Chain A
């Protein structure tokens, strides 16, 4: 909503308040003013002039030489190129020294050898928005009414000496979609009075009833329909004052009839429609729902196919307007129109909203109906418009209103108490203060000795339903700044993170401290991403958005790794080749093909390593990431959560992973074993498709980790007796898994074996085809005494024996 400061002054006294002060006051009062804009875009020194004479330029076909009087007594010679310039016109003249928008200074000039002492201006040259100009002003110079005094500054004539406040309204404040609504707001904020228009309709003998009849068939969608008949109008351009106001509000002037309906809509917030009465047989108006297949050509000359839910205004046979949305072409007011039926009605907001959306027709009118118009203004707006049309169109308003009321709107009564106001706000307002504020708001109320109030919320404020709505009104007029600032009284409760929350924080901290970058990827992805890693999203369907913005973002992610691959590719394209990324987030799984219940949101951890672990420097060589870095990430997490002993790794071949370099991460709790996820290298084909080097990924379910993680640290006494270390090197088949060997070693050596560390693994021709050498260091220790060499030797021999028997290991000497 655009509000002209000058126009607003008609309804409320603004003396002593500048436009920017008003904007600040309104913003702090709850109606945000986006911008305060001057209507003058840089015009000065332009005055009303009179073209006394026009002659062809001697050397230029398209130019005219005019003699112009600007009221100074001196006759100016001005060369003008506009085709519509003519002797006898009043026009805006930029005299020498004048300025036009764009910092354009008018100087004495010679045009094709003829001196020109200024410039005759078009509306556009005066900074008016082309789109808002009436047709006749869009081309050529602006022709002004002859009643204007010569020499009058054009700023005054076009009311450019005005500022426009642009309101950014919240959905509850549709009452401010009108000048009067804004006036009520300003009056409440400033403690001043609202001045309402007082339309006067001259008495006549002819009755509206004899020319118009109204039947409401769809009572649900039309609560009120009223009409007047205006006879004998002359359709013509509107006077300047009316055009100026519409342009300031961002509406294009059309003719005096349409302009009045728009003017009154802006004034009262009540959209109106004028029909050419002679195009409606017998003046019979029916408000009904459209019939299936009915067609209507709307004012924009488009043929609209109507649906049965749409509300129409119809004559006896067919629709003539889409109620509240747009008029029909057949009953449009044209230059030939002489009699008018003027409509002022209250249509159901929901219906107008639906119709205007479906047809893509959103107008100033539909905008207001959608938010429900004030039932109290249907008749005043009708009268105001009728009186103005009569005045400007020289018509005669017939006696009486055809008024069909389905449901009258009554002020809503809301009860509240002083005690509740103060309890809610934390204030200590007095009854006196409350009464002053309610009066300023223009709310009628009753109050008893217990300071219990019954407030009548005016019909213009349809947003006031509950006591708290009135409390907000009181609070904002009192001033939010004046509400005290207090601490909460009452029970002290400790704040804390839950176990899952602290686990996620711990992981985030450890992994970032260890050099990894945390990412946040999109939850929306493409359908093909959701099926990329079936083992990470078993037995799930992708959750699809009804109306996605693009195919790439059409379904909910089922894995995080698929998103991390995109991030890695994005980075690689920007030469960020070495990455260690991780993400903590949800994936969305469902067994349903069409969702009827919410999908399962699984918390996941995912990581991606690609490129080099350390980059080449002056003192080090580059080292590429490998599988064991990714596995190390999982091991680090398990260790941090105190569950290393529950986790094992089993070679696995999930789809899209490198079949020889991938492990399932298995958590064993008691008898139950569950796969938490996978760690492995991406399949080389996938790497190629994603334009990535060797890339290692992890994705794990977090829920089991939340369950088994333990923050209890139990101290173990430091060893008091020395340990004995024995190394062992064996040659085994390549296919033998060292993890199995270590498990067997533990089994064979028992409790006295304190730790096992693999310190070398290699292959080579010397060892034989498909053989590898594994070197392991074993540490033996007894908690309560020093082990003897013999004891260790005997244990060690059983270890060797086990390896020889179970893995066909050959001891290397």
Chain B
């Protein structure tokens, strides 16, 4: 009987070594270890054995079973590993092929910049005012201390619709509209982004339609030093925390004192480069203390309140910010241009 068991072990192990798939393995398991399997068959003869032989043979039988099971188990694991490997091999893909992106559009770069400016000023307690793009001569010029025949009207070539109605040449008319709407109440803290129009032949740096952001602050004891503080804070948030500003005296009919504001060139940090034409500075906005005539026309007493105003061109800032070489791109809306602004 012992010989039978040993023969069975030899036979089973030999059979197992040739196994190549899970089904055959299962078949062998049943054949040797199943309820009607060969081992059971052999053990059925146990009853005929003597009491001394029985434990000896029993131990041999157990050893044979364990040996077969062990090999079966190994074989099973080996087959499973092979199968997994095969699957992995078959499922391997070219990861360098392009993925399926979520759709990406873009906000127009001018609005992207305008929103950024808006957010900075909202954070500083400003509201956003709006005004009509078609304006009266009164709001666009006269109420801004630019009476008819004033030589400074030459600075801006205007699209007239009638003698009294025109396309606004600046967002500044919103200053007077806002003051009148506040009916003498202070404080006023607004910015006004919007489209403006001037007769200019279009070229790389000029567009007859463009966008400005106007700012107006009116209150008791608003000082020119506050204007400087406000603009420095804006410039550092917009162009980077190390940005510095400088003010140069200038002229606008609706502010006095007036200034042009330069910021240190973001490209070179102020050491001078091609972008800033070697000066280290970039001109970005005009500003000043609200002219007493303008305060009066807005319904305020210039002896009681003061204010400051500033205005900047959004195109100019977008050109500088993104290094765009031609202002016309903003209005031709070439998809290949617009998609470049899909990033944060």
Contact = CB atoms under 8 A, between A and B. Distances in A.
Given A469-B256, A517-B105, A353 B149 contact: yes
A419 to B, nearest CB: 12
Interface string A504-522: 0100110111111111111
Interface stretch (B5-13, B32-40, B242-250): B242-250
B304 to A, nearest CB: 12
A601 B132 contact: yes
A598 B339 contact: no
Given A476-B249, A544-B161, A520 B259 contact: no
Interface string B99-120: 0101111111011000100100
A518 B201 CA distance: 25
A523 B161 CA distance: 14
A413 to B, nearest CB: 17
B222 interface: yes
Contact of B155 (A171, A425, A494, A505): A171
A769 interface: no
Nearest to A614: B103
B122 A30 contact: no
A471 B302 CA distance: 14
B259 A509 contact: no
B161 A595 contact: yes
B111 A508 contact: yes
A590 to B, nearest CB: 9
A27 B228 CA distance: 19
Contacts of B115: 505
Interface residues of A, number: 92
Given A518-B105, A519-B108, A519-B333, A486 B246 contact: no
A521 B331 contact: yes
Interface string B165-187: 10100000000000000000001
A484 interface: yes
A547 B107 CA distance: 33
Contacts of B228: 426, 483-486
Given A425-B225, A466-B256, A521-B333, A508 B161 contact: no
A309 B188 CA distance: 45
Interface stretch (B62-70, B79-87, B213-221, B264-272): B213-221
A669 interface: no
Contacts of A576: 334-336
Contacts of B107: 508-509, 512, 518
Given A495-B123, A513-B105, A619 B100 contact: yes
Contacts of B124: 495
Given A488-B230, A490-B221, A595-B165, A28 B248 contact: yes
Contacts of A350: 149
Interface string B248-259: 111100001111
B305 to A, nearest CB: 11
Contact of B223 (A171, A486, A494): A486
Secondary structure dominating the interface of B: mixed
A28 B330 CA distance: 33
Contact of A484 (B122, B225, B259): B225
B254 to A, nearest CB: 12
B136 A30 contact: no
A638 to B, nearest CB: 19
B257 A426 contact: no
Interface stretch (A138-146, A566-574, A790-798): A566-574
Nearest to B154: A171
**Category for how many chain B residues contact A:** 35 or more
B333 A567 contact: yes
B122 A497 contact: yes
Contact of A547 (B105, B160, B223, B331): B160
B125 A520 contact: no
Interface in A459-476: 466, 468-469, 471-472, 475-476
Given A472-B249, A475-B257, A598-B132, A524 B209 contact: yes
A494 to B, nearest CB: 6
A32 B283 CA distance: 12
Contacts of A92: none
Given A350-B149, A468-B257, A518-B111, A495 B335 contact: no
B8 to A, nearest CB: 56
A27 B105 CA distance: 44
A495 B155 contact: no
Contact of B330 (A520, A523, A544): A520
Contact of A480 (B121, B133, B249, B336): B249
Given A28-B248, A485-B229, A488-B229, A601 B133 contact: yes
Contacts of A488: 217, 219, 222, 226, 229-230
A495 B333 CA distance: 32
A519 B338 contact: yes
B249 A490 contact: no
Contacts of A519: 108, 333, 338
B334 A574 contact: yes
Nearest to A512: B105
B241 to A, nearest CB: 15
A173 B155 CA distance: 14
Interface string B328-344: 00111111101100100
A517 B225 contact: no
B126 interface: yes
Given A480-B259, A618-B97, A518 B338 contact: yes
A483 B224 contact: yes
Contacts of B225: 425-427, 483-486
A480 B231 CA distance: 14
A498 interface: yes
A765 interface: no
Nearest to A584: B111
B162 A546 contact: yes
A126 interface: no
B257 A476 contact: yes
Given A349-B151, A486-B228, A571-B334, A495 B189 contact: yes
B134 interface: yes
A293 interface: no
A27 B283 CA distance: 13
A523 B209 contact: yes
A170 interface: yes
Given A426-B224, A512-B107, A543-B134, A520 B189 contact: no
A501 interface: yes
Contacts of A579: 335
Contact of B197 (A353, A489, A523, A543): A523
Contact of A523 (B128, B133, B338): B133
B284 interface: no
B298 interface: no
Interface string A583-619: 0001010000011101101000000000000000111
B212 interface: no
Contacts of B24: none
Contacts of B239: none
Contact of A32 (B248, B293, B333): B248
A303 to B, nearest CB: 28
Contacts of A520: 108, 110-111, 330-331, 333
19 contacts: A30-B250, A425-B257, A472-B257, A480-B247, A483-B228, A487-B226, A491-B187, A501-B128, A518-B106, A518-B108, A522-B331, A524-B209, A545-B160, A545-B161, A553-B208, A579-B335, A595-B165, A618-B97, A620-B100
Given A170-B250, A495-B125, A595-B165, 11 more contacts: A468-B289, A472-B257, A481-B247, A489-B226, A496-B122, A512-B105, A517-B105, A519-B333, A571-B333, A571-B335, A586-B133
Query: 5 shortest A-B CB distances, which residue pairs?
Result: A426-B225, A515-B103, A30-B249, A426-B223, A170-B251
Interface of A: 27-30, 32, 170-174, 349-350, 353, 370-371, 423-427, 466, 468-469, 471-472, 475-476, 480-481, 483-498, 501, 505, 508-509, 511-524, 543-549, 553, 556, 567, 570-571, 574, 576, 579-581, 586, 588, 594-596, 598-599, 601, 617-620
